[in-house]
Structure 1
Amino acid sequence: MNEEFKTVQLIEITDDHALQRVDNYLIARLKGVPKSMIYRVLRKGEVRVNKKRVKPEYKLSIGDVLRIPPVRVADKPNNNVNLNKVASLETHILYEDDRIIVFNKPSGIAVHGGSGVNFGVIEGLRALRPDSRFLELVHRIDRDTSGCLLIAKKRSALRHLHEQLRHKQVDKRYHALVCGQWPEHRFKVVAALEKNTLKSGERLVSVSLNGKPSETRYRILEQFSKSTLVEASPITGRTHQIRVHCLHAGHPIAQDSKYGDSVFDARLKSIGFNRLFLHANSISFIHPSTEKKMKFTAPYDEALTKLLSEHVHDI
């Protein structure tokens, strides 16, 4: 068991963790401790802030003294992080400073572990940067989507970037190969989206009058004989938004296992293309420390590059 879990810890909260929920702070600090155990010690009043009981949703303030009780965890080998995978993440870092990491996420890797997935980008980066006291996702992209992902290295940077997201100051541009000819006059899709969770735990999103307002803007990048490469800019940030909006427009994204076109996908599979063609191509935002506007572009991986360069007449 980790040594720091064996004794009572008294921690004074600094700016890095101000306004963070106490349950989220404990989950991040007590790595390997089951969430159920963390919520149990909160419920029993063993976690105290300034000597008082607190609820899980309590938001920490600068100067708060947090008491964390001893937590017993059975020793077990850490199989969650594959060292080869961790080492390979280094080559996908587009930019890093003392506040942020801009990462070109490969397709097929989740942004975080959970739901049957042991290894995620954030776990890998924490293993890659063991001396970093704070590493958190600023936003998320789907497991099968590649491209720009932003990670904060300080709580203050995370707050700054979340504020930009709320005020739509972060500009994210995705590239998607869609089935058929995208109409030249169609510049946006506005359709409310509702999220449903099946008994299996799988999430499916559909257009619904009961859903949350959602908007994606589109621009044609290149027309092919049976498909179109489009740029998609999500104005809202709903789960699977671009994928469902493309389907709603009648032009599902290539190799989309949830919302795709089986005939289109089979044709692409026959020429060796097997991944979702959705790529977070660029992201721009205001740097949380310098206040300067920054923009980053993530290069295509080998599969996307090969499809567009060698099979342009097949798509």
Structure 2
Amino acid sequence: MILTARVAAEQAGMRLDDGAKAIFPQLSKGEIRRVIDWGGCNINQSLVRVASRALKEGDEIALGIMEPERCIELVYAKGDLLYEDRDFLAVLKASGFNSQRTPYQLKGTVEYAVDCYLRSIGLTEPARVVHRLDRGTSGVMFWPKHKKAATLISNLLKEGKVSKTYWALISGSPDQEQWEVDAPIAKLSKFRYGVALPGRSARTLFRVFGEGNGVTAIEARPLTGRTHQIRVHLTHSGFPIVGDEPYGGVPAARMMLHCRSMSFTTPNGKFIEAVAPPDPSFAAAAPADLLQ
């Protein structure tokens, strides 16, 4: 939820937190300061994270209200990285975290944590988002360390030259050990996609590689990069992902979709790969022999 209002003459000159409290009396001062600290406050469409900033008459304040349980600190240290060289790094994105900032949140996103890591090693380049994982999806995310590296990996992604492997848990047991879905994907509503015409072409390869605990483990290899592609194509196949309730999956502690690996080869022939272990909640729901 985003609250917006204009600063009136009586709030002009007040501190941001005091003025926002006067404008939005339904919020406590502590809630307002949390919104400001976590990057959910914009004044005249610019992010402001200083509670003591003075307000001017006519300023437009926008506050993004985020659930307190989503205010979780996210920090990456060198020992947490899945891969690092002078051009790229890869991190394990946990389920429940946003890949990039939203109107509600900066702090506590993977983008912000990577940005802080880059500064901790002396780089002034910003964290550049070149690909994303859904909030409920865990796994590998690559980040370029500079603009040239960002252009390189962005082009490889557009050309389909970045190999991605996902693990997913589904209910039921497919008749086929492996299959391909070649079906266009279109946006059906603000947050939902589906197989439909007109849509963007999309291809995904699927393979069964484990069964047990009442679920089937699927390896998915997307050959294109459409939003919600694996989720949509598994639902289209009749096997929505466990925990993916918007697409018909049975309830679970989290959506059981995990980006297991990403790899690519640079123009100079260097092979780069990162592999991410599944988190405890995914591992607990998976077939017992999946990780052996």
Is the TM-score greater than 0.5?
Answer: yes
Structure-1 residue corresponding to 2:171 = 179
Kindly indicate whether the alpha-carbon contact (under 8 Å) linking 2:172 and 2:215 is maintained by their aligned counterparts in 1: yes
Structure-2 residue corresponding to 1:277 = 256
Structure-1 residue corresponding to 2:180 = 188
1:140 is paired with a residue whose SS is coil
The change in CA–CA distance for 1:36 and 1:90 in structure 2 (over 3 A counts) is farther
Kindly indicate whether the alpha-carbon contact (under 8 Å) linking 2:40 and 2:104 is maintained by their aligned counterparts in 1: no
Residue 113 in 1 paired to residue 108 in 2? no
Q: Deviations over 1:234-285 (max 9, x none)?
A: 11111111001100100000101311334xx3xxx4xxxx011100001111
Give the C-alpha shift of residue 125 in structure 1.
1.6
Kindly indicate whether the alpha-carbon contact (under 8 Å) linking 1:92 and 1:105 is maintained by their aligned counterparts in 2: no
Q: Deviations over 1:114-133 (max 9, x none)?
A: 04334310111212332322
Structure-1 residue corresponding to 2:223 = 235
The change in CA–CA distance for 1:74 and 1:284 in structure 2 (over 3 A counts) is closer
Match of 1:125 among 111, 114, 132: 114
Aligned residue runs from structure 1 range 140-151, under 5 A: 140-151=132-143
2:73 is paired with a residue whose SS is helix
Structure-1 residue corresponding to 2:245 = 257
User: Which letter does structure 1 place at the counterpart of 2:113?
Assistant: G
Match of 2:51 among 56, 72, 76: 76
Give the C-alpha shift of residue 304 in structure 1.
1.6
2:242 is paired with a residue whose SS is coil
Per the normalisation by structure 2, the TM-score is 0.70
Structure-2 residue corresponding to 1:41 = none
1:305 is paired with a residue whose SS is helix
Separation (CA, whole Å) in 2 of partners of 1:278 and 1:84: 21
Q: Which moved more, 1:298-307 or 1:90-99?
A: 90-99
Separation (CA, whole Å) in 2 of partners of 1:73 and 1:224: 50
Structure-1 residue corresponding to 2:210 = 222
2:220 is paired with a residue whose SS is strand
Separation (CA, whole Å) in 1 of partners of 2:188 and 2:285: 33
Count of aligned pairs? 234
> Gaps (5+ residues) in structure 1?
1-30, 39-71
Kindly indicate whether the alpha-carbon contact (under 8 Å) linking 2:41 and 2:49 is maintained by their aligned counterparts in 1: no
Match of 1:295 among 273, 284, 292: 273
The change in CA–CA distance for 1:83 and 1:307 in structure 2 (over 3 A counts) is closer
User: Which letter does structure 1 place at the counterpart of 2:233?
Assistant: H
The change in CA–CA distance for 1:225 and 1:123 in structure 2 (over 3 A counts) is closer
Separation (CA, whole Å) in 2 of partners of 1:165 and 1:154: 17
Kindly indicate whether the alpha-carbon contact (under 8 Å) linking 1:86 and 1:125 is maintained by their aligned counterparts in 2: no
Q: Percent identity?
A: 29
Q: Deviations over 1:155-178 (max 9, x none)?
A: 100111111112211000000011
Aligned residue runs from structure 1 range 39-118, under 5 A: 75-76=50-51, 85-87=73-75, 92-118=80-106
Separation (CA, whole Å) in 2 of partners of 1:189 and 1:309: 24
Separation (CA, whole Å) in 2 of partners of 1:116 and 1:73: 12
Runs of 4+ in 1 over 4 A off after TM superposition: 31-38, 77-80, 88-91, 309-312
Kindly indicate whether the alpha-carbon contact (under 8 Å) linking 2:170 and 2:218 is maintained by their aligned counterparts in 1: yes
Q: Which moved more, 1:250-259 or 1:188-197?
A: 188-197
RMSD: 3.2
1:136 is paired with a residue whose SS is coil
Kindly indicate whether the alpha-carbon contact (under 8 Å) linking 1:177 and 1:230 is maintained by their aligned counterparts in 2: yes
